[in-house]
């Protein structure tokens, strides 16, 4: 009982801390999807360190010495609580965000996390000493149930009801309870087991104790492939929707569910079901991918069901095959060490290697091809298809069973499938690069510049972040200075600039813009104006200057401040005072994902401090999947400001994208100007009835999903 309780608590804390700490630091790094994948890498490496520690002390220390050492380290780790990150850890630059995140996590939650992560294999090894006639592997399934419960409670119970600071305090208290429970298990073992190496009542046959030299490699590769698929699928969903715990936790929960199924009992992983399911789902995934690379607009639910459903099946095959090859309890800690090593390798590949060698998230389709090949290799290593007798009997009568249930036949199908879909990935890459002038992938995502209508009057360059357009410029000299995309003359920002009293009185306008894109707003620049862009991704500025002329045409009248817009403005307010912007545009998107920290109450307090008393805040809320109208409406009410909704329809021939802006101001000359009133839309009833305000301590984007 004490072992089961302790393992359950440790697993709950192990996975509860992941969304807590990642959500806490997400605003510090621009709300990029890569924040989560980098955190996942850290946690996977932390798991590897914990498992290595458990393996080493289990192998080289006597039982009582293991217990004394472990509880000494647990006691010392209490000095590191609570795990709340200090504001002093906010990044000063955007040069190496992934490295910065890893060091931040190491200095806050690193040591407690690594000690908790060692609990599973260490206590299973202790359990095997205490109860040598029972299998410890089912405790691993129990630990994954605790992990799954931690993940599922976070978006539905913890996040909606508790602020981030409260969450870190509660977790720290839970860590203390875990140490007490672990002490209970250790004390029972200390009193009842002598310092002898692991033995069993019925010694295992020598041949069962030996490990096939190929098996450790397969454990590592299967685990790495599962980790790659998890992170790649998560990135795919987050990049064009929203970077929120719900979209982190859903794929991670499915990932953990595969561990629960695979480790609970051999009967749950049925090759005759899971491998054909994998063969059937991959064509559907590739069909959706084809549309993605052609910039089609799939439905949100279709993406979630196909991508995450396919990920679940593929990872189930990885973990099911891995568990079929697991060793006897004698090698338990070594097996878990190899599994954690594979997870860390997969995380490192997605976080550090893939952005350097791939121009897009190619690890997702490549990972699917890899799992087909690995499944075939595993079938060769350990044949057997376990077809139910009922099905096998029916096919035997027609003599088709030799072909249908033969592992050799299945291996051939898997290899042919891997070759076919490998060629499809090559086709995707070729089509992806058509008309592409530049493609760049880094921590903040994938940026492309696409050329279209070459040789025609509407010849244009378009900037894309993921699937989302972030700027258009015509190459025709007569059209080159026309405001396009979401920034046309009748858009919210177009009205704010053109109808601002200072512009009407021929005075210069001081304009701040959070989010650069191609720099299209620069078309509104007049001789007396001063525009300041805040951009977190240095590659966006480099590409905007090379392929678009908006920034270069503005010369010294346009500044670009590199770094997260909010953090940069906080620093400026502290060191230089208010910028006194006449207009401040909030137009920062990571793909189509909303950086939540730019829309909180504290963020708007900062914006108003940088705004003149009669200034205008223009918030761009165009989005495929998220309805932010109620949030911005209520933010304006919170500060006793007037707000209007401006919607612009799409006009393809003029390069105008459909857009939705909210203008916030108490400047009545502007808000009541007839040409402004002519373009505003009435606030929908849903926006006025839904009372919600986000703060830095609390936000819940799930309730705004369309």
Q: Which of 166-175, 247-256, 397-406, 418-427 has the highest mean pLDDT?
A: 166-175
Lowest mean pLDDT among 44-53, 299-308, 649-658: 299-308
Of 197 and 72, more confident: 72
Cα–Cα distance measured from residue 128 to residue 137, given in angstroms and rounded to the nearest whole number: 10
**pLDDT of 509 above 90:** yes
**pLDDT of 118 above 50:** yes
- For 458-465, the CB contacts below 8 A with 24+ separation are 458/653, 458/655, 460/655, 461/437, 461/518, 461/547, 461/548, 463/517, 463/518, 463/543, 463/544, 463/547, 463/548, 464/295, 465/517, 465/589, 465/590, 465/591
Can you state the percent helix, strand and coil of the chain, rounding each to 5?
A: 60, 10, 25
**pLDDT of 197 above 50:** no
Please count the other Cβ atoms lying within 10 Å of the Cβ belonging to residue 528: 13
Residue 385: predicted pLDDT? 65
Residue 27: predicted pLDDT? 84
CATH code at 481-704: 3.40.50.150
How is the chain split into domains, by residue range? 1-198, 481-704
Q: Percent of the chain, pLDDT > 70?
A: 90
**pLDDT of 402 above 50:** no
Fold (CATH) for 1-198 = Growth Hormone; Chain: A; (1.20.1250)
Same fold, 1-198 and 481-704: no
- For 554-560, the CB contacts below 8 A with 24+ separation are 554/522, 554/525, 557/525, 557/527, 557/529, 557/530, 557/531, 558/519, 558/522, 558/525, 558/531, 558/532, 558/533, 559/530, 559/531, 559/532, 559/533, 560/516, 560/532, 560/533, 560/535
Kindly report, residue by residue over 319-333, the tens digit of the pLDDT: 999 988 888 767 777
Q: Say which DSSP state 83 is in.
A: -
In what helix (H) or strand (E) does residue 212 lie, and over which residues does it extend?
Answer: none
Region 483-504: mean pLDDT is 95
**pLDDT of 202 above 50:** no
* pTM for the whole structure: 0.82
In what helix (H) or strand (E) does residue 536 lie, and over which residues does it extend?
Answer: none
Strand order in the sheet with 659-665: 558-562, 530-535, 510-514, 581-586, 611-620, 659-665, 642-648, 680-681
Q: Percent of the chain, pLDDT > 90?
A: 48
Q: How confident is the model at residue 259 (pLDDT cuts 50, 70, 90)?
A: confident
Region 137-163: mean pLDDT is 83
**pLDDT of 435 above 90:** no
Cα–Cα distance measured from residue 300 to residue 240, given in angstroms and rounded to the nearest whole number: 9
**Three-class HEC string of 514-530:** ECCCCCHHHHHCCCCCE
């Amino acid at each position: 009982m004490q072992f089961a309780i302790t393992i359950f608590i440790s697993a709950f804390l192990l996975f509860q801390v992941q969304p807590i700490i990642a959500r806490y630091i997400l605003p510090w790094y621009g709300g990029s999807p890569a924040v989560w994948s980098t955190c996942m890498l850290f946690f996977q490496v932390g798991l590897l360190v914990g498992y290595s520690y458990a393996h080493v002390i289990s192998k080289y220390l006597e039982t009582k010495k293991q217990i004394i050492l472990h509880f000494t380290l647990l006691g010392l780790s209490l000095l590191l609580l609570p795990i709340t990150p200090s504001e002093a850890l906010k990044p000063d630059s955007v040069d190496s965000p992934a490295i910065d995140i890893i060091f931040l996590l190491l200095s806050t939650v690193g040591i407690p996390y690594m000690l908790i992560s060692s609990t599973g294999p260490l206590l299973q090894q202790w359990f095997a000493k205490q109860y040598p006639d029972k299998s410890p592997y089912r405790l691993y399934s129990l630990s994954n149930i605790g992990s799954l419960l931690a993940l599922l409670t976070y978006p539905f119970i913890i996040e909606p009801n508790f602020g981030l600071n409260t969450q870190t305090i509660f977790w720290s208290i839970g860590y203390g309870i875990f140490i007490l429970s672990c002490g209970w298990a250790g004390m029972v073992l200390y009193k009842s087991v002598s310092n002898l190496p692991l033995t069993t009542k019925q010694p295992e046959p020598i041949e069962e104790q030996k490990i096939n030299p190929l098996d450790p490699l397969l454990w590592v590769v299967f685990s790495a492939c599962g980790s790659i698929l998890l992170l790649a699928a998560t990135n795919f969903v987050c990049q064009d929707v929203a970077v929120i715990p719900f979209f982190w936790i859903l794929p991670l929960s499915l990932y953990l569910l595969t561990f629960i199924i695979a480790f609970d009992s051999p009967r749950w992983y049925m090759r005759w079901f899971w491998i054909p399911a994998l063969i059937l789902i991959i064509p559907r995934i590739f069909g959706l991918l084809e549309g993605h690379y052609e910039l089609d607009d799939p439905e949100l639910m279709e993406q979630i069901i196909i991508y995450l459903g396919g990920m679940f099946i593929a990872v189930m095959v990885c973990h099911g095959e891995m568990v079929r090859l697991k060793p006897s309890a004698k090698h338990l800690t070594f097996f878990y060490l190899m599994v954690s090593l594979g997870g860390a390798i997969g995380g490192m590949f997605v976080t550090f290697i893939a952005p350097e060698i791939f121009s897009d998230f190619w690890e997702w389709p490549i990972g699917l091809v890899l799992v087909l090949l690995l499944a075939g290799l595993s079938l060769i290593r350990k044949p057997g298809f376990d077809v139910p007798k009922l099905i096998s009997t029916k096919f035997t009568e027609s003599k088709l069973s030799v072909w249908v249930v033969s592992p050799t036949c299945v291996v051939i199908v898997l290899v042919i499938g891997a070759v076919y879909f490998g060629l499809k990935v090559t086709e995707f890459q070729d089509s992806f690069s058509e008309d592409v002038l530049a493609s760049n992938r880094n921590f903040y995502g994938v940026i492309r510049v696409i050329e279209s209508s070459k040789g025609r009057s509407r010849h244009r360059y378009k900037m894309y972040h993921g699937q989302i357009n972030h700027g258009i410029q015509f190459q025709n000299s007569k059209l080159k200075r026309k405001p396009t995309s979401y920034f046309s003359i009748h858009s919210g920002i177009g009205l704010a600039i053109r109808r601002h009293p200072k512009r009407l009185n021929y005075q210069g306008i001081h304009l701040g813009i959070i989010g650069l894109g191609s720099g299209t707003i620069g078309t509104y620049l007049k001789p007396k104006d001063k525009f300041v862009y805040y951009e977190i991704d240095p590659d966006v500025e480099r590409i905007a200057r090379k392929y678009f002329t908006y920034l270069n045409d503005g010369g010294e009248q346009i500044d670009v401040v590199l770094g997260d817009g909010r953090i940069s403005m906080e620093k400026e307010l502290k060191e230089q005072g208010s910028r006194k912007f006449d207009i401040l545009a909030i137009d920062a998107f990571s793909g189509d994902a909303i950086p939540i920290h730019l829309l909180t109450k504290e963020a708007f307090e900062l914006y108003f401090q940088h705004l003149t008393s009669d200034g205008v805040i223009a918030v761009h809320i165009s989005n495929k999947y998220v309805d932010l109208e109620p949030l911005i409406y209520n933010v304006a009410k919170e500060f006793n400001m007037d707000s209007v909704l401006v919607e612009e329809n799409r006009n393809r021939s003029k390069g105008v994208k459909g857009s939705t802006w909210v203008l916030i101001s108490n400047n009545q000359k502007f808000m009541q100007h007839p040409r402004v009133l002519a373009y505003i839309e009435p606030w929908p009833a849903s926006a006025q009835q839904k009372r919600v305000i986000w703060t830095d301590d609390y936000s819940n984007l799930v309730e705004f999903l369309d």
